[in-house]
Structure 1
Amino acid sequence: MTTRPNAIDRLSPAVRYQIANGLGWSGLRPVQSLSIEAILDGANCVVLAPTAGGKTEAAFLPLLSKMDVEDWRGVSVLYVAPIRALLNNQEARLSQLTGLIGRRAGKWHGDVKEPARKRLIDDPPDLLAITPESLEAMLLSTRTPARRFLAHLRAVVIDEVHAFAGDDRGAHLVALLERISRIAEADVQRIGLSATVGDPETIVSWLSGSSLRPQRIVDPGSARKPPELALDFVGTLDNAALLIDRLYPGTRRLVFVDSRRRVEELGHRLSQKGVDVYLSHSSLALSQRTAAEKAFEEGANCVIVATSALELGIDVGDLDHVIQIDAPSSVSSFLQRMGRTGRRAGATANCTFLATDDDALLRAAAIIDLFRSGYVEPAGPSAWSPHVLAHQAIALAMQEQGSASHSWWNWIEGCAAFRDVSTSEREAIVRHMVDNDILVEADARLALGARGEKLYGARNFLELYAVFSTPRVLRVMHGQTEVGVVDASFLQDKERQSPNFVLAGRPWRIAGIDWKGGTCSVEPGEAGGYPRWFGQPVSLDRSLCQAMRRVLCGSKSDPSWSKRAAAALGAQRESHSFTQDAALPLEEGPDGRCRWWTFGGGAGNRVLAGLLEQEFGARVSPGNTFITFADGAAESIVALRQAIDALASRSPLGWADAARLIDPGQRARISKFQPCLPPEIEHGLIARETMNVDDANTTLAEWKRSSTQDDAGGR
């Protein structure tokens, strides 16, 4: 390791001694030296380094030094992670680090039992590892003295910060940072850790909120050698299983699959081939996942098949290879997954894509294209989160057992997630909640009303962070052992051919179903189908769709492409040759439908499809790369061109245009807090969560430019 001059000298003598003697290091990595400077200077910062690049120590060594020198006492540092498994995984590491200077770390999440929590309250640790949901529960609990417990807080470290930034959990997290800063009566230092952030300046500003501390980006740059990438076209999941069995024998392979059903399918097929295979996905029981990850960690010639949960910083030991079935939906996910490899000295990060169909092959090639260009998607945290604002109004009413009507906003005023929520919108939300008995106002205080109690009281309040309501699931029990969960709709499907199904990679026979108790009893079976779970269609970003167009319109092959991949992509280029003849072509299909190839991304295409459907009064369907016109809308290419020309000649689209596309009778379920919002704000929320007017405007501007060039060229 190399050391920045003088950086290590800024640490306390005790920490310097333990780096050499407790950790046995001869020096610091660049990211650790840079972090010492930024954190000891008191800055809020985002620390960037590859997975296993030393980010955890980069954050905690300077914080431990401050703890030592300034004699911090009580819970002075929070470590926040997006999932419990990551907290569990980091527990030993955090205990080791705090133990270097005679301090302690503790853990608090939904699986930590009440006696252990009571011990933490009676004897507070110096560092507490926690999820945002558990932190919220702590603030609301009448049994936890949160004000006393968090009174001495000085810093918060947010691991995998990119996993929070782009969704409602991130808005909730930064609101919590404001609330706990006011409890601590301190400008709490905020430190985000990530391997993949495309807009770190935006993220550090978003984290900082009302904090007056300086802001820094800690980025040592990448000194690692280029990864080994391979893209192959295998056509089917059967062929993928065959190749995984033969690829890299004698090594430990992590295979990512982007659906739980296909994890089960691939895992079962690998086990039938005699492969030592383990599975991990969110519908497996925690005991099953933990056992699988532990067995895999200790194996030498084995495969673990997992969904995206394992792309976060959970350590399953030194991996030899990452294999991706088809392709993830972002470069960020790809980097996280590939970052599981190449950790040992002299090892090289690697990823092998095995595409099972043409669409997946094109997307994988586009991911590689974007990676080669150095692109990573911006997280783009929202500054307009009215539903999370409503959540916080309710939370503060519960936390304060009646929050002051005139001052509840002071708790979260600086929160970046609410910067674009106007005063009039905020007041309208509270009025709507009071008018609908979600909140009640009495004696100038806001408290939970009868309807609010029904909707959000007790445990209902804590289970709010799924974007869509989840369907009912049944626990699958083999004797007293829970195997996992399956959707009730799967078990109710009358078209299922067999009473058997595969879960945790093994076939089971249904012995009985207790619908009232929510359990399905099983016994080992011979064979069966694969369960279906509730999920949402993948909406691809415009940047990825544009890269897919570049691949289709190009003529060169990437060094990562196998001969099969190159041949299959060549065939796609030939069948899509019309995309090279026009910027945004309209294609007449043999089925009487017409496609407008925008390559504009799913969210932008949704805006354009909605506006064009209003124009034609016939069905217009958005996809990621094209918009499909059917029935009367597809009768005339000339009419389509004229309609798109008319859209492109308008003033740029705004969110009000998108909100008008929401059907009040068929509005989407985006958040459990939609009942808290007035209709116009609710429609605006649905529009922003499902559409992208900026992408739509970019597509229309491109159409207008290409039309102008066509006119100038006399075509």
Structure 2
Amino acid sequence: MTQEKPSSSFELLDAQIQRWIWGEGWTELRDAQERAIPAILSEKQDVIIAAATAAGKTEAAFFPILTTMLRGEAGHGLTVYISPLKALINDQFGRLTGLCETLEIPVVPWHGDVPSSVKSRFSKNAEGVLLITPESLEAILCNKGSKVPQLFAKLRYFVVDELHAFIGSERGKQLQSLLQRIDIAVGRKVPRIGLSATLGDMRMAANFLRPSGGEAVEIIESASEGGELRLLIKGYIEPSSLNGAAGDEAPPPSPSEASIVQQLFKTLRGSNNLVFPNSRAKVESYTYALRKLCEREQVQNEFWPHHGSLSREIREETENALKARDRSTTAICTNTLELGIDIGAVKSIAQIGPPPSVASLRQRLGRSGRRKGEPAILRGYAVESEINARSHLMTQLRENLFEMTAMVSLLLENWFEPPRTNGMHLSTLVQQILSLISQYGGVSAGRAYMELCSNGPFNNVSKSDFIELLRHLGDQNLIQQDSSGVLLHGEKGEILANHYTFYAAFSTEEEFRVISGSQTLGSVPISTALSVGDFILFAARTWRVDAIEEDIKTIYVVHHVTGMAPSFNTPGGRVHDEVRQRMQKLYASEETVGYLDETARALLNQGRQTYCRLDLHSRTIVSSGGSTVLLFTWLGDGANEVIGAMLRRYGLTPAPCGPAVELHGTVENIEALPRYLIELAREESPSVESILSHTFNLAQEKWDWALPESLLKKSFASLRLDIDSGYSWIRRHAEKILNRHRY
């Protein structure tokens, strides 16, 4: 290894690993690798390695880990690598095998597609590097409970990849619990190594990696300088009235979509790119339109779909096309290609519509500009409807363009949403109680509370709440207590805990498999009626439905020349306060935005003119008709939901409306809105019970159905509501609204 600068960390590595690095032609270690090697070799602390995509995080972790394993006096020991995606496990298996084969350290993948014979061999001699998902780790603890201490006795490290993808989610809370339970089983704290994109608050990430011990986690953020960024947001105007397609023909793309397709075709062909249209249905429609355009122009197809409902074979076909060096490929994708699956370098990222979050946009952009000397390229496409006499006020404000522009401006300032780590996730706690019973064959209430709550990841659950939960689970026959006080599965709990779907902490949509001949194309959630003879668009091709077997959730199709996009349920992102407040700054500003094209600049000016015309700088309540008003808060979704929920008690019906809360009611209670806000402001800080007293449909997570109503409300509020921000806004603005109740 001919180094461009001295490296003390390189000398700390095992000689075999040094030779492998030389053989790969590396001239130097990257910043994250230099700093991570001595920290991980200490074997005494938890470490987070935070860097952009393709900054060498995997090597930063595994060079020192493998060095430690090679120095083991009683064998190599075990390292458990945990990934959110099976595809990422398969990717890392290929990446690590080449290095580990030379070191004679086994690498074992473990997920649903891995043969049982491979798992059985590993279980007999648990050494090497185990690549696994949280769900498979859950299955091990449930099904091999008595053997868990022996199975993980030689465990030296946990490596959690894509740490940021777990934070604030059901799977994340499950993962924290699994790590804690294994620590207890082996009787020691196993060092945890988190690999992550850089987050807005890395200390929060540290507290996630090691609950109640985050202050001791060493955080290594790559000091590598970002390269050049080339950026353009193009604006499009959708005509207000469109004629639909007749008969069985697939609805043609709207004029704006057709223009975007032409632009993508013109600018992306001849290079590798990723296009994010924000939904699976849009992935299908854009890929289909681009492939049809390739056929019309008689050129080779370069456009491939990638989303979670496609079969593994089809997704891998797209991934392999991106990695191939002999052709150009553009993937139209959802966030399935946002995480760290190796797809090689891409030239540019195209974002159609506002991204789910600034953090998501940053992760996507990290795929571009990875080759030395090449810029990262981001193309944004903002679509706004043509304004007519019936246009909604948010259309007149050009909300989509302003939200996208606000997110990009925050990205340029290196701001992104801090992870939300205060969620109770009581749904996952239900699962973990049942899982703990499976692991031990029964557990006392005191031990369950200690492992999961007082010393575990659910440390914001009080004893009284835990007791209430246990009683409710008993009432539902999920658990029972024997004469000695040991908690066991109830009849219903035993059935659920012994089904393969139990291992996932999150719920999945009920989907139908789509089969053509002997090939499974993937699966699709059907939210609209579907009949034999209908046409669907899937895997960027059109199919006729030949048969539907509801009992086995299967659709049989044959290829056809027409089709229509299936209906996918795609929840949007949760917008942060900071994004909405940046939007207001953009509305109030007169400064030009240099990365907007001519149409986008015109849309920006239209939005600003509407903002000034309505005096939204100082005005909060704006009429949208006799019985409807918009309450402009310029807050995020969590705070707006609080304000809307509190106003329900007055007979108003709230609806989310971007930076505002749209309120529907009678003329009388709409006119009384200023008085209602004054009354709310004079109350003590509201309780969760009072905020959600008139709100229904709170069950959002897999096991929420098993919660008593009081705990369901607490869990929902902790995950979705920003009570402090919402109530503070009411108190700040109530008197001003009363004094200025102009409509």
Q: Same fold (TM over 0.5)?
A: yes
| 8 Å CA contact 1:240, 1:356 repeated in 2 | no
1:119 alignment counterpart: 121
* Secondary structure in structure 2 of the residue aligned to 1:577: helix
1:465 alignment counterpart: 506
Q: Which of 491, 509, 512 does residue 450 from structure 1 map onto?
A: 491
Alpha-carbon shift at residue 584 of structure 1 (Å) = 5.4
Deviations 1:111-158 (A, max 9, x none): 112122122223434111111111001111249943322111121111
Runs (5+) with no aligned partner, structure 1: none
Alignment of 1:271-310 (within 5 A): 271-274=291-294, 275-298=301-324, 300-310=327-337
2:677 alignment counterpart: 644
Alpha-carbon shift at residue 460 of structure 1 (Å) = 3.5
Inter-partner Cα distance in structure 2 for 1:637 and 1:140: 55
Inter-partner Cα distance in structure 1 for 2:8 and 2:314: 48
Inter-partner Cα distance in structure 1 for 2:100 and 2:321: 28
1:619 alignment counterpart: 653
Aligned length: 701
Provide closer, same or farther for how the CA distance between residues 265 and 123 of structure 1 changes in structure 2, counting only shifts above 3 A: same
2:522 alignment counterpart: 484
Alignment of 1:605-684 (within 5 A): 605-615=640-650, 617-632=651-666, 634-635=667-668, 639-663=672-696, 667-684=697-714
Alpha-carbon shift at residue 329 of structure 1 (Å) = 1.7
1:109 alignment counterpart: 111
Inter-partner Cα distance in structure 2 for 1:591 and 1:141: 62
Inter-partner Cα distance in structure 2 for 1:322 and 1:414: 45
2:264 alignment counterpart: 244
| 8 Å CA contact 2:207, 2:214 repeated in 1 | no
| 8 Å CA contact 2:477, 2:490 repeated in 1 | yes
Alpha-carbon shift at residue 691 of structure 1 (Å) = 2.2
Alignment of 1:567-582 (within 5 A): 567-578=602-613, 581-582=616-617
Provide closer, same or farther for how the CA distance between residues 405 and 593 of structure 1 changes in structure 2, counting only shifts above 3 A: closer
Deviations 1:553-594 (A, max 9, x none): 222222211111111111111122256553452111246521
Alpha-carbon shift at residue 341 of structure 1 (Å) = 1.0
| 8 Å CA contact 1:160, 1:312 repeated in 2 | yes
Provide closer, same or farther for how the CA distance between residues 244 and 660 of structure 1 changes in structure 2, counting only shifts above 3 A: same
Inter-partner Cα distance in structure 2 for 1:181 and 1:537: 36
The one-letter amino acid of 2:323's match is E
**Residue range with higher mean Cα deviation, 95-104 or 197-206:** 95-104
Alpha-carbon shift at residue 637 of structure 1 (Å) = 6.5
Provide closer, same or farther for how the CA distance between residues 32 and 537 of structure 1 changes in structure 2, counting only shifts above 3 A: closer
**Residue range with higher mean Cα deviation, 424-433 or 276-285:** 424-433
1:501 alignment counterpart: 536
Deviations 1:194-223 (A, max 9, x none): 123111111112211366993211013341
Inter-partner Cα distance in structure 1 for 2:113 and 2:444: 34
| 8 Å CA contact 1:253, 1:321 repeated in 2 | yes
Inter-partner Cα distance in structure 2 for 1:9 and 1:579: 66
Provide closer, same or farther for how the CA distance between residues 698 and 46 of structure 1 changes in structure 2, counting only shifts above 3 A: farther
| 8 Å CA contact 1:584, 1:596 repeated in 2 | no
Inter-partner Cα distance in structure 2 for 1:577 and 1:225: 38
1:699 alignment counterpart: 729
Inter-partner Cα distance in structure 2 for 1:555 and 1:56: 45
Inter-partner Cα distance in structure 2 for 1:643 and 1:476: 52
The one-letter amino acid of 2:306's match is S
Instruction: Report sequence identity in percent.
Output: 26
Provide closer, same or farther for how the CA distance between residues 168 and 347 of structure 1 changes in structure 2, counting only shifts above 3 A: same
Alpha-carbon shift at residue 415 of structure 1 (Å) = 5.5
Alpha-carbon shift at residue 463 of structure 1 (Å) = 3.8
TM-score (norm 1): 0.92
| 8 Å CA contact 1:31, 1:58 repeated in 2 | yes
Provide closer, same or farther for how the CA distance between residues 418 and 695 of structure 1 changes in structure 2, counting only shifts above 3 A: same
- Residue 321 of structure 1 pairs with residue 348 of structure 2: yes
Alpha-carbon shift at residue 550 of structure 1 (Å) = 1.9
Inter-partner Cα distance in structure 2 for 1:144 and 1:306: 43
Alpha-carbon shift at residue 499 of structure 1 (Å) = 1.4
| 8 Å CA contact 1:612, 1:643 repeated in 2 | yes
1:52 alignment counterpart: 54
Inter-partner Cα distance in structure 2 for 1:517 and 1:75: 44
Inter-partner Cα distance in structure 1 for 2:146 and 2:343: 34
Provide closer, same or farther for how the CA distance between residues 657 and 636 of structure 1 changes in structure 2, counting only shifts above 3 A: closer
Runs (5+) with no aligned partner, structure 2: 238-255, 295-300, 385-397
Alignment of 1:510-659 (within 5 A): 510-578=545-613, 581-583=616-618, 585-590=620-625, 592-615=627-650, 617-632=651-666, 634-635=667-668, 639-659=672-692
Provide closer, same or farther for how the CA distance between residues 14 and 701 of structure 1 changes in structure 2, counting only shifts above 3 A: farther
| 8 Å CA contact 1:138, 1:144 repeated in 2 | no
| 8 Å CA contact 1:199, 1:380 repeated in 2 | no
Alignment of 1:229-268 (within 5 A): 229-235=231-237, 236-268=256-288
The one-letter amino acid of 2:568's match is W
Inter-partner Cα distance in structure 2 for 1:537 and 1:250: 32
1:474 alignment counterpart: 512
The one-letter amino acid of 2:407's match is I
The one-letter amino acid of 2:661's match is I
| 8 Å CA contact 2:678, 2:738 repeated in 1 | no
Deviations 1:233-290 (A, max 9, x none): 1342111111000114311121112111111110110011004211011111111111
* Secondary structure in structure 2 of the residue aligned to 1:627: strand
The one-letter amino acid of 1:703's match is H
The one-letter amino acid of 1:643's match is Y
**Residue range with higher mean Cα deviation, 296-305 or 131-140:** 296-305
Inter-partner Cα distance in structure 1 for 2:378 and 2:566: 28
Alpha-carbon shift at residue 427 of structure 1 (Å) = 2.0
Inter-partner Cα distance in structure 2 for 1:346 and 1:211: 41
The one-letter amino acid of 2:270's match is G
TM-score (norm 2): 0.89
* Secondary structure in structure 2 of the residue aligned to 1:576: helix
Alignment of 1:300-449 (within 5 A): 300-357=327-384, 358-382=398-422, 384-413=424-453, 417-442=457-482, 443-449=484-490
Provide closer, same or farther for how the CA distance between residues 593 and 404 of structure 1 changes in structure 2, counting only shifts above 3 A: closer
Alpha-carbon shift at residue 383 of structure 1 (Å) = 5.3
**Residue range with higher mean Cα deviation, 137-146 or 513-522:** 137-146
* Secondary structure in structure 1 of the residue aligned to 2:574: coil
The one-letter amino acid of 1:682's match is L
Inter-partner Cα distance in structure 1 for 2:61 and 2:258: 44
* Secondary structure in structure 2 of the residue aligned to 1:660: coil
| 8 Å CA contact 1:229, 1:560 repeated in 2 | yes
| 8 Å CA contact 1:82, 1:159 repeated in 2 | yes
Inter-partner Cα distance in structure 1 for 2:427 and 2:703: 6
Inter-partner Cα distance in structure 2 for 1:57 and 1:130: 18
1:186 alignment counterpart: 188
2:226 alignment counterpart: 224
Inter-partner Cα distance in structure 1 for 2:189 and 2:556: 53
The one-letter amino acid of 2:524's match is V
Provide closer, same or farther for how the CA distance between residues 636 and 122 of structure 1 changes in structure 2, counting only shifts above 3 A: closer
Alpha-carbon shift at residue 642 of structure 1 (Å) = 2.2
Inter-partner Cα distance in structure 2 for 1:308 and 1:460: 23
Alpha-carbon shift at residue 85 of structure 1 (Å) = 0.9
1:269 alignment counterpart: 289
* Secondary structure in structure 2 of the residue aligned to 1:526: coil
* Secondary structure in structure 2 of the residue aligned to 1:234: strand
* Secondary structure in structure 1 of the residue aligned to 2:672: helix
Inter-partner Cα distance in structure 2 for 1:454 and 1:550: 55
Provide closer, same or farther for how the CA distance between residues 416 and 201 of structure 1 changes in structure 2, counting only shifts above 3 A: farther
Inter-partner Cα distance in structure 2 for 1:679 and 1:267: 44
| 8 Å CA contact 1:254, 1:321 repeated in 2 | yes
The one-letter amino acid of 1:462's match is Y
